[in-house]
A and B are shown apart, each in its own frame.
Chain A
Amino acid sequence: MRNALTTQNFRPFNLTKKSRPGETVIQSLLFIAGVLSIIITVTLVYELGKEALLFFNNSDVTLAKFFGTTEWQPGVGKYGIWPLVTSTLITSLIAMLISLPLGLSAALYLSEYASPKARSILKPILEILAGIPTVVYGFFALLFVTPLLQSILGKDNIEVYNMLSAGLVMGIMILPLISSMSEDAFSAVPRPLREGAYAMGATKLETSLQVVLPAALSGIGAAIILGISRAIGETMIVAVAAGSGPNFTFNPFQAAETMTGNIARISGGDLSYGSIDYTSLFAIALMLFLVTLALNLISQYIVQRFREQYE
């Protein structure tokens, strides 16, 4: 008698219930790898926070001194953070003043004007600039830009170590970041918007500045904020060219140490764990981390929230 396949004796293979221990193990390992990034962040915040708390718990350090005085020398009881902050802001400001107009212009040229051939030559140059290690930029700032500035402005007017040359070179370093991010934003602006403008008789410049630029504003905003964050966190250019030793000044021709430069100089020496110098570095690093984190988050938020939806 043939065994007819009926609803009574049909038993499908139950694929879902088969346990696959190998797959589970692999999946758990991959999950751990994914979660590790969170562990790193938590460790980072914990370690920075722990040491920074030690600094602020020091009976000598008060918030009034930290934010209210203008001399930074934790070793001898001077805890005013301002000289480091102002020099960080000044070098970053100079860098942004250079990189923003240049980066935007470069991006506009690449996305609106350049022929594919010109693009294929010009784009890699920006990529090379982006790939140069910052210590090399530091060398360039100290041994090329500073002498150049001295020969233009006169040796007496500008110090050997100065914030101006560090800021200028930092601007060149950040230029590729600004230009590539804004170029992405420009190329996300749909073609019909441009065609519409051309049809109305607008010139290329009018189309670029009055149609493409406003449509890409959120992307540009994100690029600017990321650029600022990069400038604040940049270490080697300022460590080489901006000078060592905190100096409360707003004069870009003078030497002044930034937050990052201070960390690099102090930690480069022999440092005993738990000393006030050691913990003070963590206080600065925590500030750096929080500021750049906030800037990065804002930048990401802008990109996501204000992205123009054209489809």
Chain B
Amino acid sequence: MQDYQSQKPIVLDILDAHRTMPGNLLPILHGIQDTLGYIPAAAVEDIAKALYLSKAEVHGVISFYHYFRTTPPGKHTIRICRAESCQAMNSKALEHHAKQTLGIDFHETTPDEHFSLEPVYCLGNCACSPSMTIDDEVYGRVTPEKFDQLVAACKGAK
């Protein structure tokens, strides 16, 4: 876990950049997560102070949204769609395969910190189910074999 003192200036810059924006809490949280990969628990106090909110309010917002995370992610984040269209094309088998292969459950990171696995509810790629993303890339018609290839390619590209 990184030391917050080294992250604090980044957080303060982001807070400053959004100071006058109406409804700025989500853009601020996105800014922090985009930069640091997650929202450090220690940042909550700084955010709350800058926005005149209580720490509970800020924490409440972070924990409400599935996308925000408070622990560092693995090097690559894999998101597998669990929604109906993907289920109709056997995403359950893909989910099972991914968990087995990576040796982790949803919301977990592999011990080598290479991959985090997250569920997602619809990527809008329903016409080519089952779908998943690795970081910002979307993949359609993903079979267990294709999953293995993509994961291997990611590891190869260390």
- A and B are interacting partners: no
What is A's interface to B at a CB cutoff of 8 Å?
none
